[in-house]
Amino acid sequence: MTRFRSLFVALAVVWTLMVLVVPFAASSYGLASSSAGRAIVSLVYEIGRLVCHQRPERSFFLSGAQLPVCARCTGIYVGAALTGVVAWSLTRLSGRQQAIGGAVSRNRSRRILLMAVVPTVATIFYEWTTGEMPGSWTRAVSGGPLGAAVAWIVWVSAEQEPARGTQATDHANAPGAVAVTEK
């Protein structure tokens, strides 16, 4: 399993947990009362502000505190984190280095993303044509497939690391390449 894949899954899970835990912790346990706690809370909300509109009427609330991203973004992040954990687990359980699901071409990636974005587009179309806003759970569920699809494409597209003690074949003949062998 590549380091990139492991890092990708770890970051997806940590970000999703931060999105879900920071508002609850800040409002219920006074996390924001310490300077370090305030810094963490502020950082998570600022990152959320960079990627999301953070409109209260389109967001979940935990313990009276708004999540740092809207419901749709929450669904995207949860979908990505869950897919990453499942892919990581299946790869570990199978004992194989290669990604579960095999290689993915650009055309296949586009088709997967097109299918995954349909629920999100459907909720947006519904809102624009009826003037009614779908509920937060509908928006979150519609974002889940998009997050899952992106995570899966990243997972299967990540380059494999060379086995420990070996050189990647395309670098073995490069100028200055050093042969490495295990004892």
79 close to 145: Cβ distance less than 8 angstroms: yes
Mean pLDDT by 10 residues, the chain (183 residues): 87 96 75 75 94 95 92 98 93 70 78 96 95 95 97 81 48 44 41
Instruction: Enumerate the domain spans of the chain.
Output: 3-157
Cα–Cα distances in angstroms (integers) from residue 81 to residues 36, 87, 139, in the given order: 26, 10, 17
Q: Which residue has the tokens 């950082």?
A: 43
Report the alpha-carbon distance of residue 11 to residue 108 in Å, rounded.
25
> Where does the chain have alpha helices with state H?
3-28, 35-51, 71-94, 106-130, 136-157
